[in-house]
Amino acid sequence: MISLNWVKDYVDIESEDLKELAVKITKAGVNVEAVMTSHIDHLVIGKVISCVNHPDSDHLHLCSVDVGEKVVQIVCGASNVREGIKVIVALPGCILPGEVEIKAGKIRGQESNGMICALFELGVEEKTEETYAKGIEEVHSSLKPGDDANIYLGTDDTVYELDVHKHRNNDCYYHIGFAYEIASILNKKVTLPDASYQEIKDNIKDYMHLKVDTPKCPYYTCKMVRDVVIKESPEFIKKRLIAAGMRPINNVVDISNYVMLEYGQPLHFFDKDKLGDNILVRDAKEKEEIITLDGQKRILKSSDIVITDGKKPVCIAGVMGGENTDVDLNTKNILIESAIFDAVSIRYTASNLNLKSEASIRYGKGLNFEYTDAALNRACHLLEKYADAKILSGVIKHDKVDKKEKVVTFETKEINTLLGITLTDDDVKVELARLDFPYVEKKGVFKVTIPRRRLDIDPNINDIAEEIGRLYGYHNLVSTLPLVPTRRGVYVGDVKIRKTISRRLRTLGLNETKNYTLTSSEAASHFRYENKEAVVLPNPMSLDKSVVRTSTLPSLIGVYEYNKARQVENILLYEIAKTYDKDYQEDTKVGILMKGNYLENAWQGIHVKCDFYCIKGIIENLLDYLGFKNRYTFEKATIPDLHPGMSAIIKVDKEMLGVIGRVHPSYQKDEIYVAEISMTKLYQKQVKPIKFKASSKYPEIKKDVAFAVKKNVEAETLIQQIRKSGGKLLSEIEIFDVYVGENVSEDEKSIAFSLTFKDPTRTLSDEEVTEVFEKIIREVEEKVPAKLRNK
């Protein structure tokens, strides 16, 4: 929160429209989120010149009121209105709180050109019987008729609420820093506040001894003051603190806050008499205790910094003071601390203790040592002026701060190249002057010293370019395209196969899902077919997002359940996602889930149900599409959470790539089929390019045969034997019937094959086909073993 009345002390913005200024500031990079004002337009001081009774009313008055430029007639009903008093007048056009617009008009036949106001009508007081009875406000002040009544009411300030990017939140969150920002935008100069004061002869060094025993406090300095008188703060300090969002307490506390809001430097006031003669700044001891001034007992860690009186802690450095040395209403003598502590350490302490104070927030952002001294002197000035303090001469100081200046050397053309603009050396000089960045320029080479208040700027050309660019205005940039060679970009690495698989699965009717990588340990306990150990987060946000999944299948079950609950009947899903194991081995998985009908048209009676062979078809189609035809097999296996009779592992080139099967009925009652394969493993395999193969010109011969085999014999066994026995002439094997029942023994099944014979180079004779066919029958019967059924 920035009070613009306050900023006016440091930079001239008298003639600025504060709403427009907010837009300019935002354009230059500091985001003014809201412009807040309680200012009421058309509200002036008036003087009642005459006051007579309204001819047609027993309580209204006709008043002639001097409102500066002219005298107007106003009808007023207040009992306390009378000749000679000064009042607040809302002129026509004035909009009072509650959207009440004042208009010129007639009241019971008499002209009225405004309204004489009570405080409750101006939103300054609540409307109560008491405030109503007070009547209109009688103004006792030196203000003259026509003057802005907001000055009298204290509603003349405008406050900016800032949303400042991290890097600017140390210089734009205090009024002097913000004044510099405004000055650079408006091309004006900043005037710093008065920090002068008288010193008495006594020297602080005779009363205080300072030792700093930690590298985390590079700068520590104190002044001492005597005989302060604790009382209420002057109006302007109170008003400004309130505008900036702080509550006034008393002059001493308020001055410490006031200076912090001016310079961004938090100060700490110790009651010197409670403190004693020593200050020792050191690292806290593990489990050391202190009661902070909010009355809470705090237990410290060795990474915290404490201020001690040589023995016990009196303050958690940069975070909060101790109760034992707190300034109270009886305090007479004060030791003012102005210091710099290690920002990271303060942030860590504040977050450990869960104690974010105004001070810790500022220390946590880092501070400028020049302002550490300036703020100390400014506090002395204000204490002398508003708390009758006597200031001892001298300071105690520990100074190990790095004072190396940040200097950037550059030429204008470097700035131009980076921004794509065309500034001249003179333009750059103007911009640097606006920024108030000291520089020397020799033969087009600029050497700029970054002011210490700009902790955010690193000494490099980009940072300078940004400062110049944002004042130059990004809206003035011309759009160009990089001068680079024309080419089309490509999908690098496995991105391409991921896209290919994704598109194919969609073509095959599956819907793409995207699920959370983090899952619950319950979900992660399912489908652990690889037996991989999962990464478990050490500090999860919640238990349902605590494990990094090793499989997509539990997530797909989640999507299935979500859709089932919404009465979706046909659920066809896939997901392609990275999974990880405990050793952070990445494995991109393709997961598929199918439930319900794959193909349907109800009125026609078409219902192609999702079953094992349907999902197997999806996998085979995908693998064929990717070029793995005839390189994969499905081998029956027992797999966690899959139906033991309807599940298999999928192998490509004899390497296991995934699983397929029906979800175990004890896990999901519904008939759900899932499959998952490792895209990472698939991607590592080589695929041959497409080659054209002409179809045979010679006729083919088809022959059917059926075998009865034991029920546990797999079709694949028969196929392999048939292929082996059929040799070169056998070109295709198709299963057209699987039969169990009459005419087949109870422990057997019958499988019928249609075999196609052909030779691409000639017409086959019946005799040679019959010869091969009989060989097949003979060998299958003998080797599988199987029984030939009636042809």
Partner 1 sequence: MKDLEKILSELEGKIKTIEKESDLNNLRVEYLGKKGCITALSSKIGELPPEERKTFGASLNETKNKATELIDAKKKELDGKALSEKLTREDIDVTLPALKVPVGAPNILENIIEEVEDVFMSMGYDVVDGPEIEEDRYNFELLNIPKGHPARDAQDTFYIEDETILLRSQTSPVQARTMLAAGGNTPIRMICPGKTYRRDADDATHSHQFMQIEGLLVDKDISLSDLKGTFDVIAKRLFGDDVETRFRPSYYQFTEPSVETDISCFVCKGKGCSLCKNTGWITVSGAGMVHPNVLRDCGYDPKVWSGFAFGFGAERLAMLKYGINDIRTFYQTDLRESSTFDRKDV
Chain positions 596 to 615 lying near partner 1, rule: CB under 8 A, are: 598-604, 606
Binder to partner 1 among 17, 55, 127, 491 (CB under 8 A)?
Answer: 491
Query: Which residues between 11 and 50 bind partner 1 (CB under 8 A)?
Result: 26-29
User: Contact between 574 and partner 1 (CB under 8 A)?
Assistant: yes
What's the rounded Cα separation, in Å, for the pair 619 and 287?
Answer: 62
User: Contact between 486 and partner 1 (CB under 8 A)?
Assistant: yes
User: Contact between 566 and partner 1 (CB under 8 A)?
Assistant: yes
User: Contact between 511 and partner 1 (CB under 8 A)?
Assistant: yes
DSSP secondary structure of 434-454: HHT--EEEETTEEEEEPPTT-
Angstrom CA distances, 490 to 487, 496, 497, 689, 703, stand at: 9, 8, 12, 19, 50
Work out how close the CB of 726 gets to partner 1 at its nearest, in angstroms, rounded to a whole number: 35
Q: Are 453 and 368 in contact (CB under 8 A)?
A: yes
User: Contact between 319 and partner 1 (CB under 8 A)?
Assistant: no
From the list 134-142, 192-200, 555-563, 725-733, the region that binds partner 1 by CB under 8 A is 555-563
The amino acid sitting at 785 is: P
Work out how close the CB of 490 gets to partner 1 at its nearest, in angstroms, rounded to a whole number: 5
* Closer Cβ to partner 1, 404 or 654, answer by number: 404
Work out how close the CB of 89 gets to partner 1 at its nearest, in angstroms, rounded to a whole number: 33
Work out how close the CB of 791 gets to partner 1 at its nearest, in angstroms, rounded to a whole number: 37
* Closer Cβ to partner 1, 26 or 250, answer by number: 26
From the list 124-132, 572-580, 654-662, 673-681, the region that binds partner 1 by CB under 8 A is 572-580
Query: Which residues between 149 and 188 bind partner 1 (CB under 8 A)?
Result: 165-168
Binder to partner 1 among 100, 440, 495, 735 (CB under 8 A)?
Answer: 495
For residue 511, give both structure tokens: 């819907």
* Closer Cβ to partner 1, 35 or 733, answer by number: 35
* Closer Cβ to partner 1, 98 or 493, answer by number: 493
Work out how close the CB of 504 gets to partner 1 at its nearest, in angstroms, rounded to a whole number: 10
* Closer Cβ to partner 1, 404 or 488, answer by number: 488
What's the rounded Cα separation, in Å, for the pair 292 and 324?
Answer: 8
Binder to partner 1 among 420, 627, 644, 665 (CB under 8 A)?
Answer: 420
User: Contact between 354 and partner 1 (CB under 8 A)?
Assistant: no
* Closer Cβ to partner 1, 470 or 685, answer by number: 470
Binding residue count for partner 1, defined by CB under 8 A: 94
Q: By C-alpha distance, which of 746, 667, 752 is closest to 706? A: 752
For residue 599, give both structure tokens: 């193909």
User: Contact between 54 and partner 1 (CB under 8 A)?
Assistant: no
* Closer Cβ to partner 1, 251 or 368, answer by number: 368
Angstrom CA distances, 528 to 551, 585, 589, 668, 669, stand at: 8, 16, 13, 16, 19
User: Contact between 538 and partner 1 (CB under 8 A)?
Assistant: yes
Binder to partner 1 among 76, 572, 674, 776 (CB under 8 A)?
Answer: 572
Q: Are 74 and 116 in contact (CB under 8 A)?
A: yes
Work out how close the CB of 35 gets to partner 1 at its nearest, in angstroms, rounded to a whole number: 14
For residue 697, give both structure tokens: 């010109």
Work out how close the CB of 401 gets to partner 1 at its nearest, in angstroms, rounded to a whole number: 18
Question: Which long-range contacts link 432-441 to residues 24+ away (Cβ below 8 Å)?
Answer: 432/468, 433/187, 434/183, 434/184, 434/185, 434/187, 434/471, 435/184, 435/467, 435/468, 435/471, 436/180, 436/183, 436/184, 436/189, 436/190, 437/467
* Closer Cβ to partner 1, 287 or 487, answer by number: 487
Work out how close the CB of 20 gets to partner 1 at its nearest, in angstroms, rounded to a whole number: 15
Work out how close the CB of 32 gets to partner 1 at its nearest, in angstroms, rounded to a whole number: 12
Binder to partner 1 among 98, 295, 489, 741 (CB under 8 A)?
Answer: 489
For the chain, the maximum distance between any two Cα atoms, rounded to a whole number of angstroms, is 136
Buried b or exposed e, range 555-565, using 16+ CB within 10 angstroms: bbbbbbeebbe
For residue 544, give both structure tokens: 């349902």
Q: Distance from first CA to last CA of the chain, Å, rounded?
A: 94
From the list 63-71, 180-188, 491-499, 759-767, the region that binds partner 1 by CB under 8 A is 491-499
For residue 707, give both structure tokens: 């075998």
User: Contact between 422 and partner 1 (CB under 8 A)?
Assistant: no
Give, as one character, the DSSP assignment of residue 303: T
User: Contact between 301 and partner 1 (CB under 8 A)?
Assistant: no
Residue 725: strand, helix, or coil? helix
For residue 384, give both structure tokens: 């002398």
Q: Are 87 and 65 in contact (CB under 8 A)?
A: yes
* Closer Cβ to partner 1, 342 or 641, answer by number: 342
Work out how close the CB of 256 gets to partner 1 at its nearest, in angstroms, rounded to a whole number: 25
Binder to partner 1 among 196, 584, 699, 767 (CB under 8 A)?
Answer: 584
Binder to partner 1 among 492, 693, 712, 790 (CB under 8 A)?
Answer: 492
Q: Are 265 and 255 in contact (CB under 8 A)?
A: no
Work out how close the CB of 345 gets to partner 1 at its nearest, in angstroms, rounded to a whole number: 9
* Closer Cβ to partner 1, 108 or 503, answer by number: 503
Binding-residue pattern over the window 331 to 350 for partner 1, x denoting contact by CB under 8 A: ------------xx--x---
* Closer Cβ to partner 1, 366 or 438, answer by number: 366
For residue 630, give both structure tokens: 């005839």
Work out how close the CB of 767 gets to partner 1 at its nearest, in angstroms, rounded to a whole number: 47
Work out how close the CB of 536 gets to partner 1 at its nearest, in angstroms, rounded to a whole number: 9
Q: Parallel, antiparallel, or unpaired: how do β-strands 642-652 and 632-636 relate?
A: antiparallel
* Closer Cβ to partner 1, 520 or 563, answer by number: 563
Q: Parallel, antiparallel, or unpaired: how do β-strands 320-321 and 313-316 relate?
A: antiparallel
Question: In 10 A of CB 309, how many CB atoms?
Answer: 19
User: Contact between 516 and partner 1 (CB under 8 A)?
Assistant: yes
User: Contact between 686 and partner 1 (CB under 8 A)?
Assistant: no
| Helix segments in 244-322, DSSP class H | 251-263, 272-275
What's the rounded Cα separation, in Å, for the pair 383 and 260?
Answer: 14
Angstrom CA distances, 518 to 524, 668, 675, stand at: 9, 22, 21
Work out how close the CB of 97 gets to partner 1 at its nearest, in angstroms, rounded to a whole number: 22
Angstrom CA distances, 118 to 51, 110, 269, stand at: 17, 21, 42
Work out how close the CB of 255 gets to partner 1 at its nearest, in angstroms, rounded to a whole number: 29
Category of 182 on φ-ψ map: left (φ > 0), alpha (ψ -120 to 50) or beta: alpha
Name the one residue in this structure whose structure tokens are 């009544």: 149
Angstrom CA distances, 98 to 94, 95, 121, 123, 158, stand at: 12, 8, 9, 9, 19
From the list 151-159, 190-198, 254-262, 417-425, the region that binds partner 1 by CB under 8 A is 417-425
Query: Which residues between 423 and 482 bind partner 1 (CB under 8 A)?
Result: 458, 460-463, 465-466, 469-470, 474-475, 477-482
Work out how close the CB of 476 gets to partner 1 at its nearest, in angstroms, rounded to a whole number: 10
* Closer Cβ to partner 1, 305 or 548, answer by number: 548
